[in-house]
Every structure is written in structure tokens, then in C-alpha cells.
Amino acid sequence: MSHLRSLHIIVILNGFKINKVLIDGGVAISLLPEKMLGKVGKHHDDLVPTNIVVTDFSGTSTPARGLVTLTFLKNKDDSSDKVESDRYS
């Protein structure tokens, strides 16, 4: 049953190697844990205010702290795409 396990990859995010990035193409929002913000060279001052509220399966809502744009390396040939990642507490 190993085919039912989640897909994790290693990426270079803002120049920092991040192990175990969860890949889920069906998500409506990309989340970045607060402790990862500093690890990728960003600060709370880099967050863009937003009115996004994230609701979990139990119905509990948490407002997002802000939006941040990060660059991630997707290929071995050093080509990159910019993607927006959202973060909440």
C-alpha cells in the first residue's frame, strides 16, 4: 500500500534547501508554517496584508497573517518560477 503515501519532494526555496515539501495539486491555498518564514530568509515585515481566512475540517477559522512571494527551483537546470505562498498562525 505504499502508493497511498503522500508525495514529498526536496526543493530550493529562495535559495534555501527545504526537505519534505508536500505536493498536493488539488489545494486551493498554499500554506507556509510561520517557523519556515525565517528559514527562507523572510521576515514578518515581508508579509502583504490579506483578508483570507483558512477554515479547517472541524470548522475552526484562522485568519492568514499575510501573503509572501517566494521563488522555488523546479529543475536541475536552474530555471525557476515565482509562486505565492500563504501563511497563517
Name the CATH superfamily, with its identifier, for domain 2-88.
Answer: Acid Proteases (2.40.70.10)
C-alpha cell, 38: 525565517
Q: Where are the domains of the chain?
A: 2-88
Residue 84 clears pLDDT 60, i.e. is over it: no
Taking only the tens place, the pLDDT of each residue in 26-79 is 777 788 888 888 888 889 999 999 999 989 899 999 998 999 888 877 655 544
pLDDT for position 48: 92
Q: By mean pLDDT, which of 4-8, 35-39, 85-89 is the weakest? A: 85-89
C-alpha cell, 27: 489545494
Q: Which helix (H) or strand (E) holds 38?
A: helix 34-39
pTM over 0.85: no
Tell me which residue of 69, 74, 67, 68 sits closest to 12, measured CA to CA.
74
